[in-house]
Amino acid sequence: MAEIVERNIENILKEIAHIRKAKLFNEDEIREIVRHRRMHEYSIQKRNKRISDYDSYIATELGFLRLVGLRRKKTMDYRFRDEIEKSILSRLVRLHRQSCYRFQGHLNVWMRFLLFNRKLGRHMAVVRLWERILQVHGRTDPRLWAAAASFHLNEGCRAQARSCLSKLKDERRALKIASKKLRRLGKNPTCPQERALLHMETYHFNKLRQSLNHSVQLTWDRTHLRSIREARRLLTQGLSFNEDSVDLLLELLKLEGTAADFFTRRVSKRLAKAQEVDMEIEEMKSEVYNERKSKRAQRRERERELKVKEEREDAANFISEVSEDVNFVISGGTFKLVLERFLTFSKATSKHLAAAVEIAEKLSRFAGKDIIAKLKERQQELHDADVAEAKRRQDENANKKLGPISLLKEATEAAKVHYKELQVLLDQAAGTENDDDIDAALVEWKKWYQPTSKSSDLLQITDPSVDPIWMKLLVLRIYILVVAKTLSKVKIDMVRKKEEMLKMYQDFKIKQDARVQDTRNLMDLLATSTWGSKVIDFWHLFMEFEEKLGDCSRLPSLRWRAEKCLNEGLRTKFLAYLSTSGGQKMEFL
């Protein structure tokens, strides 16, 4: 790892030398730059590589690049740009490539590299990056296909056109020279020779301008044709990978509408010019020039003949590049095919169909009225279905809101009745001093709070802060264990023999431990519900239960749980009470 780091550091020696020559940084700053780069190189060469290491390295290099620009403005020294700025940019490109290779599953890493190349104007790198992104993430995110198609239609098209138009620099230079010469001659022509020269230069200038405009228009048409074809390929391939994506189908509909409009405005004229039989040229070839015609007229006819022939050749060459059925596209055939797909697309919603109808109405000359009417009917059906579904869900939610309220009222009334019944059973058990009555009271309590017909606990789903009867019932549940412990102690004290006393105590201990564990499970369950977040007395009761009947070592953990579960205001009251009472708890039992 150290060898790789040092080799990468050695590669920046030329850059550092040119920074010294340009006097952009002093020696201390240069040492700090080298130290930061060495630190980042070690971080990205570790065995366990992280995205954050690459992010910090890239951010450092970008900051260094901005600082170089500021120092150049300050010193007005713009030497060694290739050795300094381009070296930093090449390092940034290397870091982006490594991060994309090592973290291919992270889409944000790819998009950051893509935006970086767009800012640098590296068109071909952006094209290759889009291809790689679609290979890795094209099956999981359909929006990427639409974004790639949009790039080829807009930025990609302009970049290709600029590249092709840059080859016309000789024609532009000749036109500029002719324009300057024409302005110089047109100031004050004094003699017939100057007027004739001005006329000839004007003719030459117009001819150059027409030729250049024709070349520019032809270049743009070819570029638009290629971009439309590439965008169509991407969208259809994206639909093959993501068959349920309605958004891609909408983008394809927009593209086909744009293609139909482009073919109508630009391609149809060239197709007609390439296919027509130019009668004038045939007549010119068979005609014997009239001797009465002047040489100027004959020259103009020959020039017009050559111009028409050249335009026909350009149109034929352009049409040879067109692989689509021009008449089918112009008539709106492809646009209608995509539009009809919405009628049978199962994943299309009313909003998607509304967008499709809007597009079809804007390009109504390519879409038939019957298809638009069918789309509107389909959109209305889906809209009505959505409205009905929304109303059904609203009614269902209203019933769900009313259900707990009615359930809470019924449960509260039933709780009051059962509270009285349980008190009677508990008094009966205390009077008879029979352990079976204690078990009967516990069974009755369990039947009430967890009926066999319902899967959830009533105590867990209710809001105990509404009525104090819920807390009384829970206290009664634990008080049953206190009564059982008291009765058992009385019985054990009445026995004279030590063996019988020990056996009776062991039997009671086994039963009581099972009851305590059952009660502890109930309290743990209630602690995760509204009891634990809304009722302070619940935690005091829980702590008193563990102190008197359970395990005292659980008290610190119970206090910690209470601090975590209680709401903010109730937690403050709970802690304030414990601090003012010296750690003493409320007495419920």
Q: Which residue has the tokens 């120092």?
A: 71
List the helix and strand counts (H, then E) for the chain: 27, 0
Q: How far are the Cα atoms of 149, 320, 323 from residue 328, in angstroms, in the given order?
A: 22, 16, 12
Residue 125, burial from CB neighbour count under 10 angstroms (0-12, 13-18, 19+): middle
With CA atoms as reference, report the closest residue to 42 among 102, 91, 1: 1
Asked if residue 319 lies in contact with residue 270, where contact means CB atoms within 8 angstroms, the answer is yes
Could you tell me how many residues make up the chain? 589
Joined tokens for residue 243: 């068959």
**Which sign does the torsion angle of CA 438, 443, 444, 448 carry?**
positive
For residue 41, give the 3-state DSSP assignment: helix
Which residue stretches of the chain have pLDDT < 70?
Answer: 185-191, 193-195, 276-296, 298-299, 398-419, 421-422, 425-426, 428-435, 447-463, 496, 581-589
Alpha carbon 154 to its chain's center:
22
What is the full DSSP assignment across 271-306? HHHHHS--HHHHHHHHPPPPTTS-HHHHHHHHHHHH
Phi, psi of 83 (to 5 degrees): -80, -25
For residue 567, give the 3-state DSSP assignment: coil
**Which sign does the torsion angle of CA 339, 341, 347, 349 carry?**
positive
- Residue 301: its pLDDT value, please? 74
Which ranges of 324-468 would DSSP assign to H, the alpha helix?
326-330, 333-344, 350-362, 369-432, 435-449, 458-461
Alpha-carbon span 298 to 119, nearest angstrom: 55
**Which sign does the torsion angle of CA 555, 560, 565, 567 carry?**
positive
Residue 545, burial from CB neighbour count under 10 angstroms (0-12, 13-18, 19+): buried
Task: Kindly report the number of other CB atoms within 10 A of residue 173's CB atom.
Answer: 10
- Residue 198: its pLDDT value, please? 73
For residue 524, give the 3-state DSSP assignment: helix
With CA atoms as reference, report the closest residue to 49 among 3, 9, 103: 103
- Residue 279: its pLDDT value, please? 43
Asked if residue 118 lies in contact with residue 126, where contact means CB atoms within 8 angstroms, the answer is yes
- Residue 358: its pLDDT value, please? 92
Alpha-carbon span 7 to 19, nearest angstrom: 20
- Residue 399: its pLDDT value, please? 61
For residue 255, give the 3-state DSSP assignment: helix
Alpha-carbon span 54 to 42, nearest angstrom: 11
- Residue 529: its pLDDT value, please? 82
DSSP element (H, E) containing 571? helix 568-580
With CA atoms as reference, report the closest residue to 381 among 403, 410, 348: 348
Alpha-carbon span 335 to 260, nearest angstrom: 7
pTM (two decimals): 0.62
Alpha-carbon span 196 to 334, nearest angstrom: 55
- Residue 250: its pLDDT value, please? 93
Alpha-carbon span 342 to 359, nearest angstrom: 12
- Residue 233: its pLDDT value, please? 93
> DSSP letter at 166?
G
Q: Which residue has the tokens 């002719």?
A: 178
- Residue 207: its pLDDT value, please? 78
- Residue 463: its pLDDT value, please? 67
- Residue 137: its pLDDT value, please? 92
Residue 270, burial from CB neighbour count under 10 angstroms (0-12, 13-18, 19+): buried
